[in-house]
Amino acid sequence: MYTFAILATGLLAALLALACNHILLRLWQRETVSLLLGPVIEETSKTGLALLAGVSLAGVHSVFGFAEGIWELVNRPGNIKPALAAWGVHSLLGFLVQITYIYSDQAILAWITGCLLHAGWNGLIFTLHH
């Protein structure tokens, strides 16, 4: 049952972030969404829902990353690298967010850690591809 809760929470976080990012991309430039708003929305979805559901932060991040990887495969057929990167990076972020939460017992600190690391990763990718 716990595994199902992690899967459901991760997928719900992914759908919520997808919907929010879709709306934001209509209102702001891609760079603004990718570097600032997107990471905040995604980390809020993943970390917030995981804490509300009482499930593993790392697990929810990994499921979210897997879902994002599927999205990458659908939108970039034949190019598996972005899909694997999405899954791997979100899993790593989840591990780091979980560790931060365990050692600090502060949800806000875990969330800030996720936002900063996620924004940094997106900045690196944006710089490499533009």
Q: Residue 4, exposed/middle/buried by CB under 10 A (0-12, 13-18, 19+)?
A: exposed
Model confidence at 45, pLDDT cuts 50, 70, 90, reads very high
Range of the domain at 24: 2-129
DSSP label at residue 94: H
Least confident of 12-16, 21-25, 33-37, 49-53: 33-37
Least confident of 32-36, 42-46, 96-100, 105-109: 32-36
Mean pLDDT of 32-59: 91
pLDDT for residue 33 is more than 80: no
Give the whole-angstrom CA distance, residue 126 versus residue 52: 32
**Could you give the number of structural domains in the chain?**
1
Mean residue pLDDT across the chain = 93
DSSP label at residue 76: S
Per the listing, tokens 């900045």 go with 123
Give the whole-angstrom CA distance, residue 54 versus residue 6: 9
H helices of the chain, in order, are 2-27, 30-32, 38-43, 49-53, 57-75, 80-104, 107-129
Least confident of 10-14, 60-64, 100-104, 125-129: 125-129
Question: In terms of pLDDT, which residue wins out, 120 or 21?
Answer: 120
